[in-house]
A and B are shown apart, each in its own frame.
Chain A
Amino acid sequence: MHRARWALAIMLSLAAGYVRAQSPCRLTLAGSVVETHNFEPVYPAVVYIDEINRSFDADESGKFHVDSLCAGRYTVHVHTAGYDHFDVLLDIANDTTVRLRLAHEAHMLSQVEVRQERIPTIIQSKEQMDKTAIAANSGKTLGDMLQSVNGVNAMSTGPTIAKPVIHGLHSNRIVTLNNGIRQEDQQWGGEHAPNIDPFLANNITVIKGAASVRYGTDAIGGVVLVEPAPLPSKPGTSGELNLAGFSNNRMGVASAMVEHNFKNVPELSMRLQGTFKKGGNYRVPGYWVDNTGVEERNYSAAAGWRKPHYGAEVFYSHFDTELGIYTGSHTGNLKDLEAAIHSSVPLVPAGFTYDIGRPKQDVEHDLFKAKLYADNRQGVWNLIYSYQHNFRQEYDIVRKDDGRAQLNLTLNTQTLNLNLDHKAIGGVKGQIGVDGIYQTNNFQNGDRLFIPTYNSLGGAAYLIERYSKNNWTLEAGVRYDNRSYEMFNAEGPSQQIIRYAFNYNSASATLGFRQQLKPNWQWSATLANAWRAPQANELFSAGFHHGAARIELGNKNLRPERSYNLNLETEYTRKKLSAEVSLYGQYIRDYIFLEPGADVLTIRGYFKTFHYRQTNAFLYGSDVSVGYKWTEHFTSTAKLSLLRARDLSANDWLILMPADRASLNVRYGFEMGEVLQECYVALNARYIAEQVRIPSNFDAIDYPRPPAAYFVPDAEAGTRLLLGKQPIYVSVAVTNMFNVKYRDYLDAFRYFIDQPGRNVVLRLRMPFSFIKDQTN
């Protein structure tokens, strides 16, 4: 074992923490993780404190912040990929600032200087949800959870299906990375939510705006990064238990995680995690909603082998969900749809049940990932292989229920990524890599028509370089992609299979600039260019959507979309005030959207038809967030998100874009002795304006008009209960506390049914640890 040799020299500088009379558990620890020689921030880095069992992510400038500490001695660890384990004991009596300087032993410097030069996420407008924010939303779906990020909305199909909308763009225009792997799970339909268990995440980052260069084509709208915590590096067992109960649909959620690092084989760590969720029909003010239950069973396993200069990781996750779809949304034709819209009560009466009937979805998603990494003279090499299997079954209402699903779709994806984070060459450092993807999409014989069978092969190469000087950083990246599709479409009365071949090649680029004007004031600008090839559903869909009584018709002549995106952002903090303002504008050439055509008469009566068409679009807007700390206990945060979306060719508004919204959060934090710590009560109010910026032909396309503006207040209270040495986080939240009736424009059920009524949520989180304190 060369552990000792490789142990990092610890240098700790305690900057003068200003001494102030304070209650014992209101201390803060602020710090930064830096490289010892040049004081450059180390990123990403996770700071973990044993005594409170909590981890904190350092930001890109290496900074982290810990609130509400009691006076005492703390063991602080730093986890960073590529560095060996680092820990230090801190005696905290006052508000404290530390600089954790990570370095290598002197005699090693004569040899190759080894450093993990992991390039942080590109310079771009982004927002993070840390462990605390994720835990405060536990039990929700990923799409629902992300609504707390300013500029992100949820496009939903009732309360069980939600997908993120970033700056007005969603579905195929958002790339989701699950543990570093691009999630490939048939997200082409509005009612197809991302198949990810949020309990996997230790950190969720939303990148707003086009970010194709690092994350691949399609990321015109943005990227969602769902990242688990690093595997443990201290011998012993630890873990966490999460429980949540929701009153509205009587839903229970349980999730547990156990991780272990072997004492005798310290290179080896592993983690097991599982989640179970079951909910019944939910309730809107006055009514139960028929067939809206959910059941979810997820598990994952991870193992890592970590040596100082190389290592390997494997990860496997299984996601399985069964979702009921509100029966009243399954309409036969235009007349049925209108009847459902005009009815003042839900057309299908219901009581409470956990049973899920037709129509329903049953989706499984498996992800396997293997990663090898090593460093040498050039830098750090990463090789990542992934295999994803997505199996989606949709059960329609049928006359003869033989138990079969009417759609059985299989999407298999393999990807390979080779990436080098290279060392600085003349002050310029960056990453270079290649990506490969192979994908097959199939349905079963006898399924109803949805999208055709296809095979797709893609390859890409990218380069991102970054140069920092004084207080500014300049970043530039380019990427070139090739993607080919071979599609098999059954056509004509005899359903003859016609083969189509499509090949798309294109480059994307990004240019970012960030400047630290003052220690507490920075701004950045990003100019990004991205593209997206038309998807199989946009090219070939030829089916009808029961929920909307519409027939959607693909268009084989669609060209790829191309986006030009400018983002400006500034961040300012003073003692009590923190503010963040971002402005964005995005021009999308050949933006693909659905245009209404003539009504079609079928044997079931009339249906609306919609054709995929292209236009030039311009989306622009602003996200503003202002926080103020009124007193030591009392804080408030106000957020505002504005979006304008224009169809330039028609000189009109684009349809189905999020309305302007504002929210206000006030929070009062306090301590109640040794047992009840970190207590808080919070009020949160959301105001969502009516969307009045709609296309002039709206009434012909999408009756009725967008719902009225609404205002919904929520409340929350929580504490950290300390039973002996065991902390338990308990919170109670009440959403829609006044049982307000309202509908949301981005909810596909807005035609039929109100948003859920009052929901009381009880959450319990218990981190546990059997790691012996080894510090001396």
Chain B
Amino acid sequence: MRTNIIKPILLIAFTSLAMSACDKGGEPAIPVEQELITTVKLLITDNAGFNKTFAYKVENGLGATTPGAITKDDVLLSPNKEYNVEVQLWNDGANPADNITEEVISESNAHLFLFESTPAALLTFVNGSKDAANMPFNQRIVFKTGEAGGGELSVVLKHNPTNKAAQTTADAGGETDVDVSFHIKLQ
């Protein structure tokens, strides 16, 4: 009588083990790096017909097993002039390339572009564009160039900055979405 209980137990054991072994998963999913930005472009124009685009590009952005190659243009401008600058953000990993700029503009009150040059006298930044609440957003801005010389220009995009009126990244708080650095020459 008792051994009769054991046999069905053993039977169930091996059947369910066999069944579970046959239950294979479906097609593996493809991961996508979220909200990837690979390229920062500076579209620079002036009133005298100057019109150039300078790009900073990381081949595969973030999230890949190997860091991607970085290509960047040197920004060549003339001294003592004013330039209109527009920043664009692209995901070149997508096909066709995805323009992220519109997305950031639509969330302008949660974003802030910040520019800094070293040496500081190289460039000054004025007339930045505003968000809906009339706080700085700076996606469009004017560069005033100083005396001839060379240095670095950093472009930073902050998400949810705690201080929207900040002039420097250190004061802005929030999370960094973009932090790139161009070589700049005024000649």
Q: Which residues of A contact B (CB under 8 A)?
A: 112, 309-310, 327, 330-333, 335-336, 339, 347-349, 372, 374-377, 381, 383, 385, 396-400, 406, 414, 416, 418, 436, 438, 440, 442-450, 452-453, 455, 457, 488, 490-491, 493, 495, 497, 542-544, 551, 553, 600-605, 607
Given the contacts A397-B175, A605-B179, A448 and B32 also touching, CB distance less than 8 Å: yes
Question: Can you offer 14 A-B residue contacts whose CB atoms are under 8 A?
Answer: A332-B176, A332-B179, A397-B160, A414-B20, A436-B17, A438-B23, A445-B30, A449-B32, A449-B63, A450-B31, A453-B25, A453-B28, A490-B31, A602-B67
Measured CA separation A339–B166 after assembly (Å): 15
Expressed in whole angstroms, the minimum distance between the Cβ of B72 and any Cβ of chain A is: 11
Measured CA separation A375–B17 after assembly (Å): 22
Contact indicator A603/B38 (Cβ below 8 Å): yes
Measured CA separation A399–B29 after assembly (Å): 24
Which residues does chain B contribute within 8 Å of A399, judged by CB atoms?
35, 100, 103-104, 107, 110-111, 159, 177
Contact indicator B16/A385 (Cβ below 8 Å): yes
Expressed in whole angstroms, the minimum distance between the Cβ of A31 and any Cβ of chain B is: 32
Interface 9-mer from B6-14, B79-87, B115-123, B125-133: B6-14
Measured CA separation A234–B162 after assembly (Å): 62
Given the contacts A414-B20, A603-B61, A446 and B6 also touching, CB distance less than 8 Å: no
Mask, B47-88, CB within 8 Å of A = 1, is 000000000101011111101001000000000000000000
Contact indicator B25/A440 (Cβ below 8 Å): yes
Measured CA separation A327–B39 after assembly (Å): 26
Which residues does chain A contribute within 8 Å of B56, judged by CB atoms?
603
Measured CA separation A607–B61 after assembly (Å): 12
Expressed in whole angstroms, the minimum distance between the Cβ of A487 and any Cβ of chain B is: 9
For B61, the closest partner residue in chain A by CB is A603
Which residues does chain B contribute within 8 Å of A542, judged by CB atoms?
63-65
Given the contacts A396-B34, A399-B107, A603-B58, A348 and B162 also touching, CB distance less than 8 Å: yes
A-B contacts at CB below 8 angstroms, number = 166
Query: Is B43 an interface position by the 8 A CB rule?
Result: no
For A605, the closest partner residue in chain B by CB is B179
Query: Is B169 an interface position by the 8 A CB rule?
Result: yes
Contact indicator A605/B30 (Cβ below 8 Å): no
Contact indicator B162/A347 (Cβ below 8 Å): yes
Given the contacts A333-B176, A600-B67, A376 and B28 also touching, CB distance less than 8 Å: no
Which residues does chain A contribute within 8 Å of B46, judged by CB atoms?
none
* Most A-side CB within 10 Å, residue of B3, B31, B40: B31
Within 8 A of A (CB), among B135-187: 158-160, 162, 169-170, 173-180
The answer, among B5, B103, B111, B174, for a CB contact under 8 Å with A310, is: B5
Expressed in whole angstroms, the minimum distance between the Cβ of A647 and any Cβ of chain B is: 26
Expressed in whole angstroms, the minimum distance between the Cβ of B183 and any Cβ of chain A is: 15
Which residues does chain B contribute within 8 Å of A397, judged by CB atoms?
159-160, 175
Q: Which residues of B contact A (CB under 8 A)?
A: 2-3, 5-6, 9-10, 12-13, 16-17, 20-21, 23-26, 28-35, 37-40, 56, 58, 60-65, 67, 70, 100, 103-104, 107, 110-111, 158-160, 162, 169-170, 173-180
Contact indicator B32/A447 (Cβ below 8 Å): yes
Measured CA separation A385–B18 after assembly (Å): 13
Which residues does chain B contribute within 8 Å of A447, judged by CB atoms?
29, 31-32
Measured CA separation A187–B34 after assembly (Å): 23
Measured CA separation A604–B33 after assembly (Å): 14
Measured CA separation A112–B3 after assembly (Å): 12
Which residues does chain B contribute within 8 Å of A374, judged by CB atoms?
2, 5-6, 9
Contact indicator A455/B32 (Cβ below 8 Å): no
Contact indicator A443/B31 (Cβ below 8 Å): yes
Which residues does chain A contribute within 8 Å of B63, judged by CB atoms?
448-449, 542-544
Measured CA separation A443–B62 after assembly (Å): 19
The answer, among B28, B62, B65, for a CB contact under 8 Å with A604, is: B62
Question: A336-B175, A399-B35 provided; 11 other pairs, C-beta below 8 A?
Answer: A331-B175, A332-B174, A336-B176, A372-B12, A376-B2, A399-B107, A400-B35, A414-B23, A447-B29, A542-B63, A601-B58
For A496, the closest partner residue in chain B by CB is B30
Expressed in whole angstroms, the minimum distance between the Cβ of B168 and any Cβ of chain A is: 11
Which residues does chain A contribute within 8 Å of B160, judged by CB atoms?
327, 397
Which residues does chain A contribute within 8 Å of B32, judged by CB atoms?
445-449
Which residues does chain B contribute within 8 Å of A600, judged by CB atoms?
67
Given the contacts A348-B162, A416-B17, A453-B25, A406 and B34 also touching, CB distance less than 8 Å: yes
Measured CA separation A397–B62 after assembly (Å): 16
Contact indicator A601/B67 (Cβ below 8 Å): yes
Contact indicator B104/A335 (Cβ below 8 Å): no
For A310, the closest partner residue in chain B by CB is B5
Contact indicator B17/A453 (Cβ below 8 Å): no
Which residues does chain A contribute within 8 Å of B6, judged by CB atoms?
374, 376, 381
Which residues does chain B contribute within 8 Å of A310, judged by CB atoms?
5
Given the contacts A349-B162, A436-B20, A452 and B179 also touching, CB distance less than 8 Å: no
Contact indicator B30/A416 (Cβ below 8 Å): no
Measured CA separation A445–B29 after assembly (Å): 5
Expressed in whole angstroms, the minimum distance between the Cβ of B143 and any Cβ of chain A is: 21
Given the contacts A310-B5, A372-B9, A603-B56, A449 and B33 also touching, CB distance less than 8 Å: yes
Contact indicator A332/B162 (Cβ below 8 Å): no
Expressed in whole angstroms, the minimum distance between the Cβ of B8 and any Cβ of chain A is: 9
Which residues does chain A contribute within 8 Å of B21, judged by CB atoms?
438, 457
Contact indicator B29/A332 (Cβ below 8 Å): no
For B107, the closest partner residue in chain A by CB is A399
Given the contacts A488-B28, A490-B30, A604 and B179 also touching, CB distance less than 8 Å: yes
Given the contacts A376-B5, A383-B13, A543-B63, A604 and B176 also touching, CB distance less than 8 Å: yes
Measured CA separation A447–B29 after assembly (Å): 9
Expressed in whole angstroms, the minimum distance between the Cβ of A329 and any Cβ of chain B is: 10
The answer, among A377, A400, A452, for a CB contact under 8 Å with B2, is: A377
Contact indicator A335/B179 (Cβ below 8 Å): yes
Which residues does chain B contribute within 8 Å of A455, judged by CB atoms?
24-25
Measured CA separation A62–B56 after assembly (Å): 73
Which residues does chain A contribute within 8 Å of B158, judged by CB atoms?
332
Expressed in whole angstroms, the minimum distance between the Cβ of A494 and any Cβ of chain B is: 10
Which residues does chain A contribute within 8 Å of B16, judged by CB atoms?
385, 416
Measured CA separation A416–B33 after assembly (Å): 37
Expressed in whole angstroms, the minimum distance between the Cβ of A478 and any Cβ of chain B is: 21
Which residues does chain B contribute within 8 Å of A452, judged by CB atoms?
28
Contact indicator A603/B13 (Cβ below 8 Å): no
Contact indicator A453/B29 (Cβ below 8 Å): yes
For A455, the closest partner residue in chain B by CB is B25
Measured CA separation A376–B181 after assembly (Å): 77
Measured CA separation A603–B169 after assembly (Å): 15
Measured CA separation A332–B23 after assembly (Å): 41
Which residues does chain B contribute within 8 Å of A457, judged by CB atoms?
21
For B2, the closest partner residue in chain A by CB is A376
For A398, the closest partner residue in chain B by CB is B35
The answer, among B5, B28, B100, B177, for a CB contact under 8 Å with A332, is: B177
Which residues does chain B contribute within 8 Å of A335, judged by CB atoms?
169, 176, 179
Contact indicator A309/B29 (Cβ below 8 Å): no
Measured CA separation A133–B62 after assembly (Å): 47
Measured CA separation A38–B143 after assembly (Å): 94
Measured CA separation A605–B178 after assembly (Å): 7
Contact indicator B159/A332 (Cβ below 8 Å): yes
Contact indicator B178/A347 (Cβ below 8 Å): no
Measured CA separation A377–B12 after assembly (Å): 21
* Most B-side CB within 10 Å, residue of A397, A442, A604, A605: A604
Measured CA separation A604–B180 after assembly (Å): 7
Contact indicator A604/B178 (Cβ below 8 Å): yes
Expressed in whole angstroms, the minimum distance between the Cβ of B153 and any Cβ of chain A is: 15
The answer, among A375, A396, A553, A603, for a CB contact under 8 Å with B178, is: A603
Expressed in whole angstroms, the minimum distance between the Cβ of A554 and any Cβ of chain B is: 8
Which residues does chain B contribute within 8 Å of A381, judged by CB atoms?
5-6, 9
Expressed in whole angstroms, the minimum distance between the Cβ of A402 and any Cβ of chain B is: 11
Measured CA separation A336–B180 after assembly (Å): 14
Measured CA separation A375–B175 after assembly (Å): 63
Which residues does chain A contribute within 8 Å of B67, judged by CB atoms?
600-602
Expressed in whole angstroms, the minimum distance between the Cβ of B147 and any Cβ of chain A is: 29
For B63, the closest partner residue in chain A by CB is A449
